[in-house]
Amino acid sequence: MKRDQDQPKHFNDSLMSNRSFRNPHLYAKLVEFVDIDERTTNFPKDIWDPHDIQEDWFADRIGPFTLFGLIWISVSISLR
């Protein structure tokens, strides 16, 4: 908050009123400018390596297994 008692203004409000922060591509530009790896982690690589992504983890590969699992559960419940 601003220390001015007559016109207090929160920091977020001042950011949002700035035209530069209204750009929807600002985040991507800042990440590129600062050269930040958005997929980094504080975990050790033996626990989680965000760059070791396997094909089986993508939604198009998980989807059929999920559908099959739901069908299997509904069939097994109906057979009881």
Residue count of the chain: 80
**In angstroms, rounded to a whole number, what is the distance separating the alpha carbons of residues 8 and 76?**
63
Has this prediction a pTM greater than 0.85? no
Each residue's pLDDT expressed in tens, for the chain with a length of 80 residues? 456 667 677 777 877 787 777 777 888 888 888 888 888 888 998 998 888 888 877 877 776 666 666 676 666 676 66
**In angstroms, rounded to a whole number, what is the distance separating the alpha carbons of residues 39 and 9?**
34
Identify the sign of the CA torsion 28, 12, 40, 35.
positive
